[in-house]
Every structure is written in structure tokens, then in C-alpha cells.
Homo-oligomer: A and B are copies of this chain.
Amino acid sequence: MRLPIRAVTPESESAEIIGWVHEVRDLGGLTFFLIRDRTGIIQVTIPKKKVPAEIVEAARDVSRESVVRVQGKVKAIAKAPGGREIVPEELEIISVAESPLPLDVAEKVPAEMDTRIDSRFLDVRKPRVRAIFAIRSTVTCAATEFLHSRGYINITTPKIVAAATEGGTELFPIAYFEKEAFMNQSPQLYKQMMMAAGFEKVFEIGPIFRAEEHNTVRHLNEATSLDVEASFADHNDVMELLEDLIVYVYEAVAKTCGEHLAELDVDLAVPKKPFPRIPYAEAIEIANATIEEKLAFGDDLSPAAERAIGNEIGQHYFVVDWPTDIRPYYAMPYPDRPEFCKAFDLMHPRMELSSGAQRIHDHDLLVERIRAKGLAPEAFEFYLKAFRYGMPPHAGWGLGIERLVMTMLGLGNIREAVLFPRDRHRLTP
């Protein structure tokens, strides 16, 4: 029975392993392989005079990154990784790797991002890169567990839609039989409709699609969004939920991904609750104290402003009380000062992670706000209808999974946090 490499200890008598040939060294009378699987690396030592001739023969054909099966005796040996080696009694080449490799898995030669993604399946063999995706998996599974345990219903909303969520032009058009359709840029309208459906608390983890032209290290054209919406809740309620979720997810990663964090040299600090709430007006002041291109009231926060505020605050924080005019039409204005609204952004010191708000639940106010944005209410009839037959007050947010992983692990490029990125110029692999 094959063992994961981690399970082979210096005390094991014999072992059968399958893995990738990480390195080959031929010293004449002695050949060393390092074999790698997802649990670790082990040395296989082939003393040519002491093993059967067919093994020596087979070993000659083994190229780096081939998949091999080795069965043999385990010996304790201080200098080898994990303090043990295998001397093979059987050696089977399961899948030969061509040479040269398009990418160096042992990472002696660092590669450019584009080269890495062109051969992503090789790139991800690097323990450091695999660690990112093992952690990303823990993030999504822990978020699912957290929300399910709090009574949130996991919903699935359509990705093929007839209308733009925010009326923008940044949509990918689809030919849907005889009709024109679009790939959805956000589950926003659908999760709100589920509030009218009486679902009370919902979440979804799924793809979102944005035909944004700009190509940066923090934008993707296809990303994963964790969306939440809750009835009978206001912006403060869902900010608390978001804080709790962030802390829960960080704790899950800290608790179960120690090895992967070590691989990435990340000393993970779990954020402390409550995160500071910084009113928009104050955020502008903090930013303007240091940035060159000063912001005026009503400007969105520029990347430079985000960095300046992040430096000042030094931890996760919320920007609250935004000007109504620069938020989407569905954000609820404060009744007593309608030029501000109950919207918020969750910020990591490096960048924005999440946007949310208490939403407008009054049909007529919503129509007014849609018009004020220069959009046509007729295009939103399927959505507005849900506001005419009993819509409860509700609030929610959307959180970018890639940005969460990127900021958690200090990754420089958002493409590090997604297996097969889609951007302005990239559609493969």
C-alpha cells in the first residue's frame, strides 16, 4: 500500500511511495533521487552495485518531474530530508516527463508570472505555490462552515443574466440561443430578491465576471465573490458579521495550516475585533495629510489614499458613512442626512476587501435612486417587482476571496491567489 511521504519515518522498515522526481543526482556508483508528493520530500538512494540491475537500468531513464513508484527498505540517515532514505527493491516509471521542463519546479531559476501561468500545473508543484491554494481551500471551507452554522442558507444565483447589475457597460455579452445575455458581474440583485423571498439570511460563493479594461496586480476579469445578505439587519449588523467571519477564517488558517504558512514564511496575526470604523470624511482627511494628489469630498478613495490610510490605521478597518452619490443606487441614505448613506467598505491596510451597505427596501425610493444614477428603471423590472410585494429591511456585503487570500498571505499579485487567472490578455490555460 502506497504511503504519503510524510508517513515514512526513519523508524519505518519498508515503504511504497509514488511521487514526482524533484531532483536527480548521479555520482557514478550512486544515484540519488529526491521524490516529492503533496506531503513532503524523501531521498531515494540507488547504490548501483547493491540493487538489482533492472533498477539501475530503469533509473537511467528517469527525468526530473517524472512520476515514479518506489518500493524499498527505509534507512535512518541524518543528512537526508526528514532523516530517512529509501533503497529501492522496485522502481516503476509511471509517467515520464519530457526535457527540458518549461518551468523549473525546484525554483533554482525564478520565473516571470506569465511563464508560470503558462505552465501553471508545473508552477503549482512548488510547495510554496501549493501552500497558497491549500490555504485558499481552508478559507472557503471555513467561511462556508461559519455561515452555515449561523443559519445562513447557501444559495446559487444565475451567472447568465439578461441585465447588468449596476447598469455598467463592463459586461461580457453571451449569445444565449436567439437572445443576448450577459455574464453576471455580481449576485447583488438576486441575493436582494431572496430577501423578498423571506430567506432572511443567505450566502453564496461563486464566480463574478467583469469586462474591465484595466490590467493591474489587483484586478481580475473572473473572480470569486463571497456574498452575504440578511433581512431585518442594518449596516452595523452585517459589519459585525463580516468582522466575525474574517476573524473566524484567520483563526481556521492559523490553526490548521501551520505547515503551509511556514512554507510561505507568513507569521499570521489574527485581526482583533472590533475593527475601527472611520467615517468617509475623516478617511479623506487622513489621506490628504500625506498624499500628493489631494482628494475632494465626493471623490472615491484612490489607491494612494488607501495606502496612506492603511499606513495610519495599521489594521483592518471599515470606512463608513459614504456620500450617497458615489455609492450604488441600492445603498440606503441616512433618513436625517440623505447626502450620506449606510454603506461601508472593509479595508485591509493594503486595499479594499469588501463593500456593503444597508439596502433601500422602499420601492419608490429605489426607483428614484436608479433614475438619479441615469439608469432606466424598466431595465430592472425583474428586480423592482420584488420590492412591490413586501420587502423587509436588509443589508449585506460582497467579499473578494482572492483579495482576502492575497492580503492574508502578503502576495504581491492577485494572480498568485487564483489557479487560472483571466485578465485583459489571458484566456488560457
Contacts and interface: CB of A to CB of B under 8 A. Distances in A.
Contacts of A317: none
A65 B207 CA distance: 33
Number of copies: 2
Contacts of A177: 211, 213, 424
Given A119-B385, A385-B119, A424-B177, A95 B159 contact: no
A67 B206 contact: no
Interface residues of A, number: 92
A200 interface: yes
Contacts of A175: 172-173
A141 B391 CA distance: 27
Contacts of A190: 419-420
A403 interface: no
Nearest to A382: B429
Nearest to A125: B198
B424 A198 contact: no
Nearest to A123: B197
A325 B144 CA distance: 40
Interface stretch (A148-156, A280-288, A330-338, A368-376): A148-156
Contact of A427 (B37, B172, B179, B194): B179
Given A154-B137, A174-B172, A362-B95, A162 B193 contact: no
A133 B153 contact: yes
A181 to B, nearest CB: 6
Contacts of A96: 390
